[in-house]
């Protein structure tokens, strides 16, 4: 049971990190709305 919980936690953390990385490298499709990004997300940029 502990092994399953640990695996699920790692999978969720990995998905969250990938999602944040993708969002850091894309712009908002709305014309006037681009929210401020946290510093940790800005570090994930690839440009």
Q: Can you give the pLDDT of all 47 residues of the chain as single tens digits? A: 899 999 999 999 999 988 888 877 777 666 666 677 778 777 777 76
Cα–Cα dist 47/36, whole Å = 17
Cα–Cα dist 5/22, whole Å = 26
Closest listed residue to residue 35, CA positions, set 25, 43, 27: 27
Query: To which residue do tokens 């990995």 refer?
Result: 14
Report whether 25 contacts 47 (CB < 8 A).
Answer: yes
Assessment of whether the complete model's pTM goes beyond 0.85? no
């Amino acid at each position: 049971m502990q092994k399953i919980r640990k695996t699920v936690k790692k999978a969720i953390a990995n998905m969250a990190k990938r999602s944040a990385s993708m969002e850091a490298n894309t712009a908002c499709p709305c014309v006037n709305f681009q929210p401020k990004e946290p510093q940790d997300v800005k570090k994930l940029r690839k440009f």
